[in-house]
Chain A
Amino acid sequence: MDKFIEVINLTYSYRPGNGNEVKALNGINMKVFKGEFLAVTGQNGSGKSTLARHFNGLLKPRSGNVLVGGFSILDKNRLAEIRKMIGMVFQNPDNQLVSSIVEEDVAFGPENLGLPPETIRSRVGWALETLNIENLRRESPNNLSEGQKQLVAIAGVLAMKPECIVLDEPTTHLDPRSRRELLEIIIRLNREEGITIILLTHFMKEVVFCDRMIVMDLGEIKISGTPHEVFEKTTEIVRLGLDFPVATQLAAGLRGKGLKLPGNIITTEELIAQLCLLK
Chain B
Amino acid sequence: MELTKNITLGVYLPGETVIHRLDPRTKIIIASVLIILLLMIKSYPAYAVILTFLSAVIFMSGIPLSYALCGLKPMLPVLILMWVFQLFLYSNPDSKVIFSFWIFTATDSGMHMGNLISLRVIFLFTVTTILTLTTSMVSLTDGLESLLNPLRKFGLPIQELVMTMVIALRFVLILAEELDKIVKAQMARGVAFDRGNFIQKTKKLFPVFLPLFINAFKRAEELIVAMEARSYTGGKGRTKMKTLQMSRVDLGAGFVMLIFSAIVVLLIITIKPQI
Q: Which residues of A contact B (CB under 8 A)?
A: 53, 56, 58, 80, 83-84, 87-88, 90, 92, 94-101, 103-104, 107-117, 120-121, 124, 141-142, 156-157, 160
A53 to B229, CA, bound (A): 9
Are B225 and A90 interface neighbours, CB within 8 A? yes
Are A160 and B231 interface neighbours, CB within 8 A? yes
Are B243 and A96 interface neighbours, CB within 8 A? no
Given A98-B170, A100-B169, A101-B138 in contact, is the A111-B239 Cβ separation under 8 Å? yes
Task: For residue B198, give the distance in angstroms from its CB to the closest CB of chain A.
Answer: 34
Closest residue of chain A to B240, judged by CB? A111
Task: For residue B257, give the distance in angstroms from its CB to the closest CB of chain A.
Answer: 28
User: Which of B227, B233, B239, B242 is packed against the most chain A CB atoms within 10 Å?
Assistant: B239
Closest residue of chain A to B224, judged by CB? A95
A160 to B241, CA, bound (A): 13
Q: Which residues of B contact A (CB under 8 A)?
A: 137-138, 163, 166-167, 169-170, 173-174, 219, 222-223, 225-233, 237-243
Closest residue of chain B to A84, judged by CB? B231
Give the A-B pair count, Cβ closer than 8 A.
Answer: 93
Task: For residue A191, give the distance in angstroms from its CB to the closest CB of chain B.
Answer: 24
Task: For residue B152, give the distance in angstroms from its CB to the closest CB of chain A.
Answer: 16
User: Which of A83, A98, A104 is packed against the most chain B CB atoms within 10 Å?
Assistant: A98
Are B225 and A114 interface neighbours, CB within 8 A? no
A160 to B227, CA, bound (A): 13
A198 to B44, CA, bound (A): 70
Instruction: Decide if the interface of chain B is mainly helix, strand, loop or mixed.
Output: helix
Closest residue of chain A to B176, judged by CB? A142
Question: Which of A103, A104, A116, A157 is in CB contact (< 8 Å) with B230?
Answer: A157
Question: Which of A58, A107, A117 is in CB contact (< 8 Å) with B229?
Answer: A58
Set of chain B residues within 8 Å of A124, measured between Cβ atoms: 241
A58 to B222, CA, bound (A): 12
Are B219 and A98 interface neighbours, CB within 8 A? no
Task: For residue A141, give the distance in angstroms from its CB to the closest CB of chain B.
Answer: 7
A114 to B235, CA, bound (A): 10
User: Which of A80, A92, A111 is packed against the most chain B CB atoms within 10 Å?
Assistant: A111
Task: For residue B215, give the distance in angstroms from its CB to the closest CB of chain A.
Answer: 10
A116 to B239, CA, bound (A): 7
A96 to B239, CA, bound (A): 20
Are A111 and B222 interface neighbours, CB within 8 A? no
Are B229 and A88 interface neighbours, CB within 8 A? yes
Are B226 and A95 interface neighbours, CB within 8 A? yes
Set of chain B residues within 8 Å of A120, measured between Cβ atoms: 239-241
Are B231 and A99 interface neighbours, CB within 8 A? no
Are B241 and A111 interface neighbours, CB within 8 A? yes
* For the complex of A and B, 4 pairs with smallest distance between CB atoms: A96-B226, A95-B222, A107-B241, A112-B231
Set of chain B residues within 8 Å of A87, measured between Cβ atoms: 229-230
A115 to B239, CA, bound (A): 6
Are B138 and A98 interface neighbours, CB within 8 A? no
Set of chain B residues within 8 Å of A96, measured between Cβ atoms: 222-223, 226
Q: List 28 A-B contacts (CB under 8 A).
A: A56-B229, A58-B229, A83-B230, A88-B226, A88-B230, A90-B226, A92-B222, A94-B174, A95-B223, A96-B226, A99-B138, A99-B170, A100-B166, A100-B169, A104-B138, A107-B241, A110-B241, A111-B238, A111-B240, A112-B237, A112-B238, A113-B231, A117-B239, A117-B241, A117-B243, A141-B170, A142-B170, A157-B230
Set of chain B residues within 8 Å of A121, measured between Cβ atoms: 241
Set of chain A residues within 8 Å of B232, measured between Cβ atoms: 108, 112
Set of chain A residues within 8 Å of B222, measured between Cβ atoms: 90, 92, 95-96
A124 to B242, CA, bound (A): 12
Are B138 and A100 interface neighbours, CB within 8 A? yes
Task: For residue B42, give the distance in angstroms from its CB to the closest CB of chain A.
Answer: 41
Are A112 and B138 interface neighbours, CB within 8 A? no
